[in-house]
Every structure is written in structure tokens, then in C-alpha cells.
Amino acid sequence: MSKERVLTGITTSGTPHLGNYVGAIRPAIALSRRSDTEAFYFLADYHALIKSQAPEMVHQSTKEIAAAFLALGLDTDNAIFYRQSDLPEIPELCWMLNCLAAKGLMNRAHAYKGAVAKNLEAGEDPDFRINMGLYSYPVLMAADILLFNAHKVPVGRDQIQHLEMARDIAQRCNHVYGSNKHPLFVLPEAVVDDKVATLQGLDGRKMSKSYGNTIPLFLPEKQLKKHINKIKTNLLEPGEPKDPDSSAVFQIWEAFATPEQTAAMRTEFENGIAWGEAKKQLFELINDELAEPRVRYQELLEDSSYIEEVLQAGAEKARVYSRPLMARMRDAVGIRPLG
């Protein structure tokens, strides 16, 4: 049986937090260890440039996200782990796809439409502060995916539309340049795992950098404790029954606990556990899982030339796939040697 090819990208625009860990990093690492799967994971640093013109932040974030994956046990023998900007085939394919993708398709992209709506609300010009990177973001993402003929793309819900666009562009490319017998591209599918939690942040909204409500993944112990103590609760006293299902403390607990531990905590809530005690137990649970990787993470950050070596080796492995595909694509569009 041929292996299923899975690919996903992580935008390098911040410090990895518990929401990234539970929603993306932990499942990606689990998948990297499976022998029936060929996993491609990359640091989407070109995507980071769309939102951020802060060079030090992009650089630091790339280092931190790479270190986090390695510290948490990514299997780099089985999975191919690379940085988007190390593959010249990505922007090359991106251009060719730009020449196939309909502008009208991009007009419908949520991220772009959201930015326009915000401008209009503020009484600005619709295109105020919208760069071409944001506009054609879905095309770059399609290039990332199609270059490796990935079958499955694990993503958050907000990315489903981008996958639909990647399929649309792939289909168009197959129609224009391929044949039924030899389609150029596999049509990729989004995989949104309902079992994977979207973590709540300190204020109870989705944990997200843009809300400023995150708990960074590798905080030193003391600070982790402090952050957990900041998770919003209500004024119920010890002894008063508490509703687990509306509590961020419980929801985060569930993302780290075994089913038995979750059932036990549910009972504790019903019996009126004090918020301070629930948070103390939550700290211990999270800290147990992250204490060892935290040490490795700090070591890796201090030796970033090692991280660089791993990424370079990953890029070499990735290019074994991307070079021939790009050669086929060049030939298909008519860019060939003349004699």
C-alpha cells in the first residue's frame, strides 16, 4: 500500500503557545511517527511576511517554532521538516499558479474580504493597508501544497476555504496543462480533526496571538503557574458546584488529561473544587507533560546552528520531490531549453 502523504505549514509569526501545541503541534508530531504516513511539515516564513514587517520577530519565531517541534520529539527520519524559503520551487510554482488562478476566486477569500470589511467600517478606502501578499495568500498556500502532491492537509477550520481554492487551482491546472491520464496535481483535502480541541485562552475566547490571551508553550515553571492563575473564572466560592462545560480551566484540563482524569475533574467541579485548587492541579498536569521538552527547547535555542543544520537537511530531502515536479511543470507550460 502506498503511504498517505500529509502536509502542513506553520506561519512563523509568533511564539508557540498552548493552543498551537494542542491544535497543531502535538497531532503533527504523533503523525510524524506513523509508518503508514509520509509527513511534510514546514515553517511558512513567506506567509509570515504578509502580516509582519518585523524582521527580528520573523527570525525569532522561526527559531522558536523549529525548536519546539524538535524538542517535542518530531521524527525527522520519517517526516520531512523544512523552511518554506529554502525551496526556490515554491515561489516559482506560485507564479505559475498566479497566472492560472482567477482573480474573482481571490476576491472571495475570507481573510481579504475581512480586511476590506474592516476598512469600510472604519470609513477608510477599501484597499487601505492591503498588500498583494494578503490578496494572493491562497495562491502561495496552493503552491506549498501542490508542489508535493499532498493528499491530506491538517488545518484549522479557518483554512478550509484555502484548501477549496487549492483544489480549484489544481483542477484548473490539470485541465489546462495536464491530461486525464496524467494529471499534474493531486487534489488535496483539508483534514479538520473534531477531536482536537481549539483551546480557550486566558479570557475564555479562542487562544490566539491576535487576542493577546495566550499561554506560551515553554514558559519557565513559575511563569507558567502565574499565567494559569490568570485564566478567567467566576466568583463562585469553594464548595459551590461549578459548571465544567463553561470553564476555560476545565477545557484546558481536558486537552491534557486522560479520559479518566477528565471524568475525575468533572466530579471535582460538581463537588465545588476551589478555583485555586483546580488551577494548581492544571499547572501540575501541564508542567508534567512539558517539563522535559522545555529543557531540550532551551538547549536547542542556545545552539541554533544545530536547528539550521536540521532544516537544511530537511530542505534537501524536500527538494528531491520538488525539483522533478517543477521540471515537469516548466515543461508543461512551455518553458523549455530551445535546442
Residues that bind ligand TRP (CB under 6 A): 7-9, 11, 44, 47, 141, 144-145, 153, 155, 159
Is residue 166 within 8 Å of 155, Cβ to Cβ?
A: no
Q: Measured from the CB atom, is 109 or 231 closer to ligand TRP? A: 109
To ligand TRP, the closest distance from the beta carbon of 83 in angstroms equals: 12
**Given the complex with ligand TRP, which of 170 and 257 has the nearer CB atom?**
170
- Give the nearer residue to ligand TRP in terms of CB position, either 42 or 256: 42
154 neighbors 10 (Cβ within 8 angstroms) = no
Least separation in angstroms between CB 263 and ligand TRP: 33
Of 8 and 136, nearer to ligand TRP (C-beta) is 8
**Which CB atom, from 49 or from 278, has the smaller least distance to ligand TRP?**
49
Nearest residue to ligand TRP by CB is: 9
Of the candidates 129, 139, 292, the one whose C-alpha atom is nearest the C-alpha of residue 218 is 292
* Cα 197 to Cα 255: distance, rounded to the nearest angstrom: 7
Please give the helix or strand (H or E) that residue 83 lies within, else none. strand 80-83
Task: Measure Cα distances from 122 to 52, 117, 128, 253 in Å.
Answer: 21, 9, 10, 39
- Report, in Å, the least distance between residue 20 CB and ligand TRP: 10
Find the shortest distance in angstroms from Cβ 141 to ligand TRP: 4
- Cα 256 from Cα 245, distance rounded (Å): 16
* CA–CA gap between residue 170 and residue 139 (Å, rounded): 10
